[in-house]
Amino acid sequence: MVTNEERYLNLIGIQQRPPSVSYLTSLIHHHLSKIPYENISKIIRYYEIGPSIPTLEEFVEGVA
The three state secondary structure string of 2-54 is CCHHHHHHHHHCCCCCCCCHHHHHHHHHHHHHHCCCCCHHHHHHHHHHCCCCC
Spatial separation of the C-alpha atoms in residues 23 and 17, rounded to whole Å: 7
- Averages of pLDDT over runs of 10 residues in the chain (64 residues) are 89 94 96 82 83 78 66
Which amino acid type is present at position 38?
Answer: E
Where in the chain are the domains?
Answer: 4-63
How far is it, in rounded angstroms, from Cα 27 to Cα 14?
A: 7
What pLDDT does 19 receive? 96
**Which SS3 state, helix, strand or coil, does residue 39 take?**
coil
